[in-house]
């Protein structure tokens, strides 16, 4: 389960519940993964009362980049070494696992030379999509604010947009070709 809260001054914070076992009933004091470019804003979210200090925290920079080549000689690039994008969309690790899965299949059949052609277009498409989503969520222009308001508050919960959004964050928005 995830929530996004928009605060004054275009600030936002994501809350994603950490679940060990999907079959377990919800815990009284669940652990949440919290992502925001704005430090110390958790206390401003209505109804949120942390019961202790963070278990772990770290800073990170957001970039949207992809390698020009996924193969240089005998070196093949996968995961964050090949492409990087903002955590909005929760795709980075899953995309890297997909690279690894496809690569392992190609190794088995001795077709590693097809790796770049198979993966670069897929990964590039996702990086662009996540960049657009990130600009929408983080943008400070009037257009970004308008799109954010209309898209996230009104369109997202509708049967037309919700399945598309779920496919995007679960990585089911494209077939895995080998
Ligand atoms: C805040 C945040 C939230 C995220 N949330 C999600 C999410 O919900 N879902 C999702 O799918 N992805 C998420 N991601 C992205 C995900 O964490 C990364 O895409 C993923 O960890 C990349 O894995 P990797 O193995 O490619 O690279 P890394 O995890 O960076 O692993 C590379 C490893 O190589 C080691 N290394 C580097 N240089 C050397 C060297 N010279 N010799 C030996 N070892 C070396 C490093 O120490 C590291 O352990 C998130 C990222 C961030 C920053």
How is 31-74 classified by DSSP, letter by letter? -EEEE-SSTT-GGGSTT----S--S---------EE-S-SEETT
- Are 102 and 176 in contact by the 8 Å Cβ rule? The answer is yes
Q: What is the pTM of this model?
A: 0.84
pLDDT over 80 at 152, yes or no: no
In the structure, which protein residues have their CB atom closer than 6 angstroms to any atom of ligand 1?
Answer: 35, 60, 79-81, 87, 90-94, 96
- Average pLDDT score over the chain: 89
Give the per-residue pLDDT at 3. Answer: 85
**Substitution candidate for ligand 1 out of 84, 93, 130 with most atoms within 8 A of CB:** 93
79 C-alpha vs ligand 1 centroid, how far in Å? 8
Site to substitute for ligand 1 among 4, 62, 85, 87, most atoms within 8 A of C-beta: 87
Q: Which fold has domain 65-170?
A: FAD/NAD(P)-binding domain (3.50.50)
Q: Domain residues of the chain, as ranges?
A: 2-44, 65-170
């Amino acid at each position: 389960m995830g929530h996004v809260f928009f605060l004054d001054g275009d600030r936002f914070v994501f809350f994603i519940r950490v679940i060990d076992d999907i079959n377990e009933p919800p815990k009284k004091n669940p652990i949440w993964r919290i992502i925001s470019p704005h430090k110390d804003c958790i206390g401003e979210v209505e109804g949120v009362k942390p019961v202790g200090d963070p278990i772990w925290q770290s800073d990170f920079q957001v970039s949207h980049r992809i390698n020009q080549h996924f193969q240089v000689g005998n070196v093949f690039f996968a995961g964050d070494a090949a492409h990087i994008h903002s955590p909005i969309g929760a795709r980075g690790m899953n995309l890297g696992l997909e690279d690894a899965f496809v690569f392992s299949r190609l190794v088995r059949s001795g077709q590693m030379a097809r790796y770049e052609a198979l993966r670069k277009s897929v990964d590039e498409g996702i990086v662009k999509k996540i960049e657009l989503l990130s600009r929408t969520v983080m943008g400070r222009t009037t257009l970004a604010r308008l799109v954010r308001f209309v898209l996230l508050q009104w369109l997202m919960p509708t049967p037309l947009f919700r399945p598309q959004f779920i496919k995007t964050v679960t990585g089911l928005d494209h077939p895995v070709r080998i």
